[in-house]
Amino acid sequence: MSRFFEGIAAYVRDRFDATDWEEDEEGDRTVAFHLADDDGQAWDCAVLVDDEDERLVFYSTMLDAVPKDRLVAVMELVTRANFGLPVGNFELDLDDGELCFKTSLDLEDVVLTEAMCRNLIDTNLMVTSVYYEALLAVISGEAEPAEAIEAVENEEDDEDDED
């Protein structure tokens, strides 16, 4: 068992009651679980422990694929969203419409701590939650990418002003 796997496995199991770990043919270890919050937001999550490259990756993936006729609009949205994000990035698979947000850690020459796991996962979940409604609005065609991003940024600015 890898030096990284035990730390992240324990943290994810405790935090999300996730027990479905799998190992693929390359020796990478993954866990996938469904996450839903009180606001009705729901997405799938996956943790990948890559021993060979000494990397830990956390994905939040939208439940439904982006329809082909909305790919260009969603691509614009995630490009606008990615600009200026200090940590993580949205990814859109143009072949199958999979849309996810990814955060990762390079673990070379470091000791993985609970704080590192928490920061990696919490950042991912927070960004996914912040952009969730904008993503759904553009995917469904209810909003254009620029206006959806503007709404997210204005909401964030309003919250900053309240602090």
Give the pair of three-digit tokens for residue 22: 């799998």
- CA-based nearest residue to 116, from 8, 3, 6: 8
- b vs e for 64-87, b when ≥16 Cβ sit within 10 Å of the residue's Cβ? eebeeebbebbbbbbebbeeeeee
Report the distance separating Cα 124 and Cα 87, nearest Å.
9
Give the amino acid at 55.
R
Of 60 and 115, the structure prediction assigns the larger pLDDT to 60
- pLDDT (tens digit, 9 = 90+) per residue, 44-92? 998 888 878 888 899 999 999 999 999 999 999 999 999 989 999 999 9
Report the distance separating Cα 50 and Cα 123, nearest Å.
20
Q: Which domains does the chain have, with CATH numbers?
A: 5-162 (3.30.1460.70)
What is the per-residue pLDDT for 64?
Answer: 96
What is the per-residue pLDDT for 111?
Answer: 82
With beta carbons less than 8 A apart as the criterion, state whether 87 and 103 touch.
yes
What is the per-residue pLDDT for 23?
Answer: 47
Percent of the chain exceeding pLDDT 90 equals 52
DSSP bridge pairs for 23: 29
With beta carbons less than 8 A apart as the criterion, state whether 48 and 26 touch.
no
Of 142 and 114, the structure prediction assigns the larger pLDDT to 142
> What kind and span of H or E run contains 131?
helix 114-140
- pLDDT (tens digit, 9 = 90+) per residue, 32-42? 777 888 888 99
What is the per-residue pLDDT for 131?
Answer: 97
Note the pTM of the prediction, 2 decimals.
0.84
